[in-house]
Structure 1
Amino acid sequence: MSGYDGPTLRAIRESMGVPLRRVARQVGMSHGHLSKVERGEHGRPITPAILSAYEKVTGVSLAEAAAALAEQRESVVGRRGRTWRPGQLTDMRRLAFNAAIGAIAIGGQIGEPLGRLLDTTGRPVPPIVPDQGDVEQLHHFGELFTQLDLRFGGAMTSQLAKTILRWAVPMVEPTSVYDRDAQPLYGALGALAARAAWAAFDTGGHEAARSLFRLALFCAVRSGDPHLRAHIMADAAAHHNHLGYHDDALDVIRVVEGDERVAAPVRMAIHGVKARAYAASGAVATCRRHLELAEHAFTETPPVAPAWVVSLRQSGHLHATTGHALAVLAEHTGAAADRQEAIRRLAQAVADFNPDSHARAVALCQAKLSELHLQAGELEPGEWWGRQALAGLDQVRSARLARSVGSVRRAAGDYPEETRMAQLTSEIDAALITAEQPYGG
């Protein structure tokens, strides 16, 4: 029954002066179980038998109480003339609450664990029939989590996004059919799940990321948005690339590569992912071709597309994507020209990105620049870029960044006789040990 939950049942019972043990006797359940029902604990559902018991012992029609809450009515008149109104308290509970907030206001303790206090608020209840306002709020959450992820890394973003998804997914759970009326809702959920997947990947929660990529793709397909569908596939392929599954990355990305509806900024991302996969596989010519295709997609006329698609068309994205791919390619070719071009593009990406909004991307580029310089024996710029990346680790909670800084440490470790390299490696070791790395998948 919608409109109230465990805490509301408790409020009705206490306002009527009914002890919990009387309800327990009526329904034939333990006092402890009903206490957890009233706190809204997971796995403690409000069954019809429980509802019936509360109605009998309180004399208040719970259907009427639910309607009163929904309609913001002043009061409900139950059987035997007993009345109840939303928010009603017994004198004892009212005085106890006033005493509690008075004590807390002057530095006193709450008197119970904070987690249990939150349990008393009940479980999240999503709207059964979402409206346009719900969809718009989910879109805003997706935009907020994107900003947080790009700025601070995926640690907190992953947890917050999954919490919102657990609340929102029941809105589409009853059906998986294609429903045009539900497309905006699926689009909002798909974008939110895609960001949650990327944030989980960024924290090293790879199994969580795979589950979230599946959820994101499911929603994107039902939203009818070809750009979102393609971008999620590109992100899933990038995840494969990161883990060394380059053939799988190419297999995944080929599913959407031929979709002519996909806007140029998303195609730029697709070609960037493929370039990196081919670079890692040693397919030099094919890698270079996809680098050119990414650049061509960037130069195309800005599309008439959703704002998030247009936002992908940034020179920083282009230079970072192609620069990282060229860095991988240089490992195979051994060509100084490839290494220098990778350095040029990554340095340009650092210059293009706003560090206040893309701190993780900046730090990842800085770490790769340090590694490239150190591998070439260029210690001064290698040390400078390494320290820049190390500074980013203080603010960005990202397993990917920690791994990249670890690569800088290994490159610096090749010069043990150099005092400044020894100092850099010790500072990196200390940072990687003491940094509070992501909260898990």
Structure 2
Amino acid sequence: MQVPLRRVARQAGMSHGHLSKVERGEHGRPITPTVLAAYEKVTGVSLAEAAAAIAEQRENVVGLRRRSWRPGQLTDMRRLAFNAAVGAIAIGGQIGEPLGRLIDTTGRPVSPIAPDPCDVDQLTQVGELLTTLDTRYGGAMTSQLAKTILRWAIPMIEPASMYDPDHQPLHNALGIITARAAWSAVDTGSHEAARSLFRLALFCAVRAGDPHLRAHVIADAAAHHNHLGYYADALDLIRIVEGDERVAAPVRRLLHSVKARAYAAAGETNSCRRHLILAQQAHQEPAPLDPPWVKTLRNPAHLYAAAGHALADLTQHDSTAETHAAAVEHLTGAISLYATSEHARALGLCRARLAALHLTTGNLDSGEEAARQALPNLANVRSARLARALGAVRRAAAQHPDHEPMATLTTDIDAALTTLEQPYSG
């Protein structure tokens, strides 16, 4: 059947060049449901039925192309070659080809054209797993795993540019995965990747009709701005959602905490303290039937940690003993509340911040103790943010070169940062 490719391109709303690359099977040009629908519309042929007919025909042709592993359809040469390879590898032999090439022979990931509820359930569990890995081990491996899952799953939602209630659970599951991928990218210092992922996560959250996830993604994007020093931009982003009365209290607590830290870094003491109070009030609100991922935000350690970091930032502008004591109190409270096995990165960040806070005020013994406790976290967590926080501790300790414990601490931190395998990037 001779059908002009440009006619199919017009039907699909895509470029002629893109469809040409799809037909050639180029990498990154998947056959999406939109493409299939356009071909079916123009040709009048049901491609699914045609594929089933071809598969049935192949079933009936014994030894077609001599590549089928079905009973009675595999040549003796291929069977014997495989058995010989298994025997050689089993006694310590080499595979005989590059490992990457071996994986490539398994084919490209194929995502379902019409995802079933079980696909959504599995993606939801993947999101929970990625969150656990990220908080426990840092963002390095989590970022790579999440992006791999997204490359497989995104084709399922790519053609759904309109709001469709049937697709909301899928968008929600992918929004949670993408938001975790974005924050993991922040944690590894892959800031451009994080920005792309935040945009995708927000798109999924809006299509999912989930105001909590939408606000959470924007809060994380604003926290990313804070991390890079763009405090005004952080406040601008949060203003997009802070008036949404649908947002659950734990997410509103997060929004207030991010704003408090932005105001603290900018030296606006009153605004910082006001939002810390609002965050406390949101945390104390009764717990309604929140989504499962929202319930994890009710951990009081998160409230203490956010307030501690904000107050520590505020000490750069308000050096009163009251502000310093409040920062120490909140960071210490967060450290005591975080479960070591579940929140190793957050625990390390709080310990490092507490150490730097003590050292900058001359409390060298307490500073050294907190720093020594943070060093094991650096060895077990792949996080550029944690490495940066310990770098700040190192600079504070280096201000006391004549104090032998500080000189030793500086040397130990240097050794840890030097031998640390850099988190994966990109």
| Distance of aligned partners of 1:64 and 1:96 in 2 relative to their CA distance in 1, 3 Å threshold | farther
Q: Tell me if structure 2 keeps the 8 A contact 1:373–1:382.
A: yes
1:15-414 to 2 correspondence within 5 Å? 42=27, 64=53, 66-67=55-56, 75-77=59-61, 86-87=69-70, 88-414=73-399
Contact 2:183/2:220, CA 8 A, preserved across alignment: yes
Amino acid at match of 1:386: A
Q: CA offsets per residue over residues 34-71 of structure 1, 9 Å max, x none?
A: xxx9xx9837999xxxxxxxxxxxxxx975453589xx
Deviation at 1:86, TM superposition (A): 4.9
Q: In 1, Cα distance between the equivalents of 2:356 and 2:30?
A: 55
Opposite residue 320 of structure 1, the aligned amino acid is A
8 Å CA contact 1:186–1:223 kept in 2: the answer is yes
TM score, norm. by length of structure 2: 0.86
Per-residue deviation, 1:319: 0.1
1:421 corresponds, among 370, 393, 406, to 406
Deviation at 1:310, TM superposition (A): 1.1
Confirm or deny: 8 A CA contact 1:279 1:287 kept in the other structure: yes
In structure 2, what residue type is equivalent to 1:66? A
Count of residue pairs brought into register by the alignment: 383
Report if the CA contact (8 A) 2:260-2:275 is conserved.
Answer: yes
The letter of the residue matching 2:166 is D
* Distance in 2, Cα, partners of 1:328 & 1:303: 33
* Distance in 2, Cα, partners of 1:291 & 1:248: 19
- The answer to whether the 8 A contact 2:205-2:213 is kept is yes
Q: Percent identity?
A: 64
Query: For residues 240 and 108 of structure 1, do their structure 2 counterparts lie closer, same or farther at Cα, with a shift above 3 Å needed?
Result: same
CA distance in 1 between partners of 2:148 and 2:30 (Å): 20
Name the structure 2 match of 1:56. none
Give the distance between the partners of 2:159 and 2:76, measured in 1 at CA. Answer: 44
Deviations 1:381-434 (A, max 9, x none): 100101111111000000000000000000000000011101111111111111
The Cα shift of 1:84 comes to 8.6
3-state DSSP of counterpart to 2:393: helix
| Cα-to-partner distance string for 1:334-379 (whole Å, 9 max, x where unaligned) | 1111111111110110100101000000000000000010011011
Unaligned 5+ segments in structure 2 are 1-23, 32-49
Displacement of 1:175 after TM fit? 2.5
Deviation of 1:146 (Å): 0.3
Partner SS, residue 202 of structure 2:
helix
TM superposition shift of 1:77 = 3.3
Using the alignment, how far apart are the partners of 2:271 and 2:382 within structure 1? 34
Q: Judging changes above 3 Å, is the alpha-carbon distance between structure 1 residues 85 and 440 closer, same or farther for their aligned structure 2 residues?
A: closer
CA contact (8 A) 1:76 1:84 kept: no
2: distance between equivalents of 1:149 and 1:103? 39
Q: 1:183 to 1:43 in 2, by over 3 A?
A: closer
